[in-house]
Amino acid sequence: MQHALDALDAVAIAGDVAGIAASHDAPEVRVAALLEPLHRLLPFDGAWVAVRDDEHQGHRSLASTGWDRRTATYLDGPVLVEDIEQLGLHRSAVPLRVADLPVPAEALRSWSECLLPAGLHEGLGMSLFAPGGQHVGFLGLFTESAEAPSDDARALLSALGGVLALAVDPVRALAVAVRTVHRATSGVLLGRDGRTAPLPGLPGHDALVPPSPLLETARGLHDGPSTTFLLPLPDPGAYLRVSVLAVPPDCGSQVAAVVVLSPPGDLAGLTRRELEVLGLLVEGRANADVARLLGVTPRTVATHVEHLLVKLDADTRTVAAVRAQRRGLYVPRGLLPRDSRAG
């Protein structure tokens, strides 16, 4: 057996792992830094830490060291996923040693085709699960020695599973983006197929439940790092600010955006009708078209436009529209109350 971990060593390793995992660095940076305390836990000859990549039915390496590129590419492919499922590791956070395997290592393709030929014979492997139970990644520490890792090393790695998952979880990167939304109150992850998933750290909202005009509007308007607009609420004069944020590539191609709700902030003294008119100006509508859509006279629209120019300190309606977009004072037509839409 490998040498047992000293209690003070275990505490130091756990503290270092927790500190690195809690950092706001990119997942690749966090995981690279984790290799040092993990090497103290188990002096490995090869290490592989990866995030799940369901789109390609495999993994994407965040750290891969101790072997050639062929081995690294193999580990990211579908064979290891099959072995993980065969061993039930996709449902369990308990680390496994080769000595613990229910079948000989040679019976597993990842070992017979890759790890054993690479000169590796033992180690610790474990799936990583986010707090909600989502399988987010996998960690493997491998040794050339056939000596099984100690019970202490296995127990400590098991205890650190949740912290290690925090380090690799790509959804964590969204927390940085969400913090840019002042006083965010609720939010969801919006998939490209229109479905939603919970956003860690924020509750949901009735307006964010599919099918939702708000979500359809968010998908249609999302362009660039962020888009903001206003959601009218049933109470007269009440609004929520909607922020549609781009997602980091780490989150996978199935996630289209993050949709976050927050208080409306300063509305520049604009009335409900002025905001409705302003939204249609942002869409490039002429006064006559605005009048038809809102069921009012062109003269009434002209009066509202005059008020908008004063309140937004704009010389022209084009400048007013640009400032409205920059300040998130845009109410998309699809979100107007039904009694405001005549056509």
pLDDT in tens, 90-144: 888 899 999 999 999 999 999 999 999 999 999 999 999 987 787 889 999 999 9
The residue type at 49: V
* Residue 172: predicted pLDDT: 67
Percent of all residues in the chain with a pLDDT value above 90, rounded to a whole number: 58
Count Cβ neighbours within 10 Å for each residue of 42-56 and write b for 16 or more, e otherwise.
Answer: bebbbbbbbbbbeee
Bridge partners (DSSP) of residue 227 are: 244
Give residue 35's pLDDT band: very low, low, confident or very high (50, 70, 90): very high
303 has pLDDT over 70: yes
What pLDDT is attached to residue 3?
53
- Mean pLDDT, range 205-223, rounded to an integer: 90
- pLDDT greater than 80 at residue 86: yes
Q: How far is CA 69 from CA 64, 183, 301, 324, in A?
A: 9, 46, 66, 52
Domain boundaries 173-340, corresponding CATH code: 1.10.10.10
**pLDDT tier at 343 (50, 70, 90 boundaries)?**
very low
pLDDT tens track for 43-53 = 999 999 998 87
- Which of 67-71, 141-145, 286-290 is least confident? 67-71
% of the chain exceeding 70 in pLDDT: 92
Domain map of the chain by residue range? Answer: 7-169, 173-340
* pLDDT tops 70 at residue 338: no
pTM more than 0.75:
no
**pLDDT over 80 (residue 252):** no
Please tell me the predicted confidence (pLDDT) of residue 37: 96
Q: What is the mean pLDDT of the chain?
A: 88
HEC-encoded secondary structure of the chain: CCCCCCHHHHHHHHHHHHHHHCCCCCHHHHHHHHHHHHHHHCCCCEEEEEEEEHHHCEEEEEEEECCCHHHHHHHHCHHHHHHHHHCCHHHCCCCEEHHHCCCCHHHCHHHHHHHCCCCCCEEEEEEEECCCCCEEEEEEEEECCCCCCCHHHHHHHHHCHHHHHHHHCCCHHHHHHHCCCCCCCEEEEEECCCCEEECCCCCCCHHHCCCCHHHHHHHHHCCCCEEEEEEECCCCCCEEEEEEECCCHHHCCCEEEEEEEECCCCCCCCCHHHHHHHHHHHCCCCHHHHHHHHCCCHHHHHHHHHHHHHHCCCCCHHHHHHHHHHCCCCCCHHHCCHHHCCC
Whether the predicted pLDDT of 217 surpasses 50: yes
Model confidence at 199, pLDDT cuts 50, 70, 90, reads confident
Superfamily holding 7-169? GAF domain (3.30.450.40)
Q: What is the pLDDT of residue 56?
A: 64
